[in-house]
């Protein structure tokens, strides 16, 4: 086998280079309109009708591939940076505002303090978190544990002139602090009660935050529905279950189609309307019969219970302490057992 010459190798290399350039170079008569913030490319060039009729789906796939290549070429022109050994491209601001699937969340209702501050014109001013502690001679936190100038940590408290001299001022300070904490908790619960029934704002969870199974399922469902077809033509991943809550599209009969099938349906409808005897629903009739049988059994059981109550045990009568059970006959030889009273003894002597 003859070895290829230098010219043949150079020609093959030029062909491979031209093929690679042809794969990444797409020529268009009109430039595409790009919206890199939304990763969107719009092609103003009209499609060629003859090519579409001749090749069909292959022409559309080639057109989509070329436009995607142009969009990727534009992304490579955006400045990139390296973050943790990964090349990251920061996309510019989006030009088009895409519609939302759901309405924007409502704003949180203001609390009573926010309403009061707005009415009085009170503005929130930034305060430093540290303060100078004169007793310790150092900078400490203004609030919280080991705060500066804590009144509950003083070793000496002056007793007011109008206060009881026997009252513990340290315990009074601790009690006042507990009351303030309880008041703040009550205000917090009132704010929660006032905001019940309103949708809270929907914050974006930070990346990497732990999420429950229900949250992941909800996010997956919303993501699948965030397409142009509302998730109807979204391909399923391997071993992925069918999404829940997806309604089935109602299918109507075509206006023009199989005339024989349409004639058969109309004849069946007319036959059902002209039928003299009513159409019998077997399941409904069986359920009705079962309900009637159960009601009849309940009524007969109730009547038997009432009859037993009339011929049951007697109470304590005047004839004895315990009259006992009556017999089955009205007054025969076997009249039944009697009680242990006097009447029972007399009947026994008579027999």
Report the pLDDT value the prediction gives residue 200, as an integer from 0 to 100: 55
Buried residues in 134-144 as b, exposed as e (16+ CB within 10 A): eeeeeebeeee
| pLDDT at 36 > cutoff 80 | yes
Instruction: Please write the tens of the pLDDT for every residue from 181-225.
Output: 999 999 999 988 887 766 555 556 666 778 888 888 888 888 888
Residue 15 CA: distances (Å) to CA of 11, 20, 65, 111, 161: 6, 9, 21, 73, 104
Mean pLDDT confidence for 6-35: 77
| pLDDT at 70 > cutoff 80 | yes
Instruction: Give the pair of three-digit tokens for residue 86.
Output: 């990964």
| pLDDT at 320 > cutoff 60 | no
Instruction: Please write the tens of the pLDDT for every residue from 87-126.
Output: 888 888 888 888 878 888 888 899 999 999 999 999 888 8
* CA dihedral (67, 72, 74, 75) positive or negative: positive
Report the pLDDT value the prediction gives residue 310, as an integer from 0 to 100: 58
Instruction: Name the DSSP letter for residue 340.
Output: S
Instruction: Please write the tens of the pLDDT for every residue from 117-137.
Output: 999 999 888 888 899 988 888
CB 70 within 8 A of CB 44: no
The total of other beta-carbon atoms located within 10 Å of residue 43's CB is 16
Report the pLDDT value the prediction gives residue 336, as an integer from 0 to 100: 46
Q: Of 96-100, 246-250, 333-337, which gets the smallest average pLDDT?
A: 333-337
Q: Of 20-34, 50-64, 321-335, which gets the smallest average pLDDT?
A: 321-335
* CA dihedral (278, 282, 288, 289) positive or negative: positive
Report the pLDDT value the prediction gives residue 321, as an integer from 0 to 100: 44
Rounded Cα distance, 287 and 293, in Å: 10
The pTM of the full predicted model, rounded to 2 decimals, is: 0.29
Instruction: Name the DSSP letter for residue 23.
Output: H
- What residue ranges do the domains of the chain occupy? 10-80, 129-155+169-177
Rounded Cα distance, 198 and 105, in Å: 10
Q: What is the number of residues in the chain?
A: 351
Phi, psi of 327 (to 5 degrees): -85, -175
Largest CA distance in the chain: 146
Report the pLDDT value the prediction gives residue 331, as an integer from 0 to 100: 45
Report the pLDDT value the prediction gives residue 220, as an integer from 0 to 100: 81
User: Who wins on pLDDT, 212 or 341?
Assistant: 212
Cα 218 versus chain centre, distance: 6
């Amino acid at each position: 086998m003859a070895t290829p010459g230098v010219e043949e190798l150079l020609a093959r290399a030029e062909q491979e280079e031209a093929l690679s350039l042809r794969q990444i170079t797409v020529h268009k008569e009109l430039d595409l309109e790009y919206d890199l913030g939304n990763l969107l490319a719009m092609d103003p060039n009209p499609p060629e009708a003859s090519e579409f009729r001749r090749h069909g789906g292959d022409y559309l796939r080639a057109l989509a591939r070329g436009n995607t290549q142009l969009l990727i070429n534009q992304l490579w022109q955006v400045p990139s940076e390296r973050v943790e050994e990964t090349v990251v491209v920061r996309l510019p601001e989006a030009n088009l505002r895409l519609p939302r699937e759901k309405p924007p969340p409502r704003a949180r209702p203001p609390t009573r303090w926010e309403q009061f501050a707005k009415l009085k014109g009170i503005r929130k001013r930034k305060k430093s978190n540290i303060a100078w502690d004169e007793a310790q001679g150092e900078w400490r936190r203004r609030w919280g544990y080991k705060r500066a100038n804590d009144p509950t940590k003083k070793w000496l408290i002056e007793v007011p002139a109008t206060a009881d001299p026997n009252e513990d001022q340290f315990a009074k300070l601790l009690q006042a602090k507990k009351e303030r904490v309880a008041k703040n908790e009550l205000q917090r619960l009132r704010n929660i009660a006032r905001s019940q029934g309103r949708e809270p704002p929907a914050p974006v969870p930070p990346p990497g935050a732990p999420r429950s199974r229900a949250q992941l399922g909800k996010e997956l469902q919303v993501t699948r529905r965030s397409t142009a077809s509302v998730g109807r033509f979204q391909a399923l991943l391997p071993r992925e279950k069918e999404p829940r809550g997806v309604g089935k599209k109602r299918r109507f009969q075509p206006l023009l189609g199989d005339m024989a099938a349409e004639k058969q349906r109309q004849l069946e409808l007319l036959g059902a309307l002209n039928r003299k005897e009513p159409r019998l629903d077997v399941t409904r009739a069986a359920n009705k019969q079962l309900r009637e049988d159960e009601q009849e059994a309940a009524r007969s059981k109730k009547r038997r219970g009432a009859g037993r109550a009339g011929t049951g045990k007697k109470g304590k009568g005047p004839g004895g302490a315990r009259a006992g059970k009556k017999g089955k006959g009205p007054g025969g030889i076997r009249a039944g057992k009697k009680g242990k009273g006097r009447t029972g003894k007399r009947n026994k002597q008579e027999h």
